[in-house]
Amino acid sequence: MINKILRIATRKSPLALQQTKYVQKKLLSLYPNLNIKLVPIVTHGDNILNKSLSKIGGKGLFIKELEIALLENKADIAIHSMKDLPVTITKELCLISICERGNPFDTLVSNNYKSINHLPKGAIIGTSSLRRQCQLITYRPDLIIVPLRGNVETRIAKLDQGKYDAIILAAEGLNRLGLKNRITQIIPAELSLPSCGQGAIGIQSRLHDKKMLFFLSRLNHLNTVIEINAERAFCKKLQAGCQIPIGSYAILRKNKIWLRGLVGSPNGKIILRGERIGLYNTGEKMGHSLANELLSNGAKKILQHLHINNSYYI
């Protein structure tokens, strides 16, 4: 393998490139003689910036072109943010590894206010995440939520131009870009439950490429895999993407895993929460059980409104 050039498909955004360089560094620490070639790709989601993700097909828009590169043998592996990777993976492909998770939480970024509690009534908050919007409106219904798309630097620039009083961004994205100093508040999970897989990097490859699977399996971080598998099991059972607010977050401590899940309506009028605690090897079972509980308690109705009426505000 070390005599072969490893082609890595990645999005062209600064954050995606930083994540790819992180994986590249990990690989070279294991295989110093490895030759690596980056294959930068612009995805459909990167090109559409004037519409919210929920209305143009969801986060899967950020991976389609990378998957095509794998299927057409133009790349050997693809690097993704785990929160962008759909729970159902293209059948010819597989998720080889999940790297050790960084900070999974959302953050408040503001030039004038220290926390969500310090925001004045009527403050304008930028985010295009229905998950974040739903939870924020429930906690502070007096705030005004305005759509915000673009890469991290573009979003921060709009904040600095005075278009928003604050914006909500993922903590680990800011960390990887060297922008930790822009974080005003780490938002606790009790206020903003993270997205499934948030803070972790996933590596995808062709299912039949057994040598590649063995070669890259060493990058797997077992605790992170256990946590994210539980989170993804919850989301997969719901069979829903980012068109409705869904949060799932698992913490593994010793032999116990604590899984929390959330389903809501975009306007925050309905928020359903639940949790499970169990042994580390029951995470996926817990995810299914928790999803079934929320479906029985009203999540099914939210999903039906989405699929039947294409209604984002029920």
Q: Is 36 helix (H, G, I), strand (E, B) or coil?
A: strand
Is residue 84 annotated as a catalytic residue, yes or no?
A: yes
d(CA 204, CA 93): 7
d(CA 169, CA 132): 10
Catalytic residue among 84, 106, 165, 209: 84
Strand partners, 169: 107
**Cβ atoms 24, 36 nearer than 8 A:** yes
Residue 262 has which token pair?
């959330």
What is the C-alpha end-to-end distance of the chain, expressed in Å?
Answer: 53
Mark residue 39 as left, alpha or beta (left: phi above 0; alpha: psi -120 to 50; beta: remaining).
beta
Q: Taking Cα atoms as reference points, which of 13, 9, 6, 24 lies closest to residue 177?
A: 13
Catalytic residues, which ones? 84
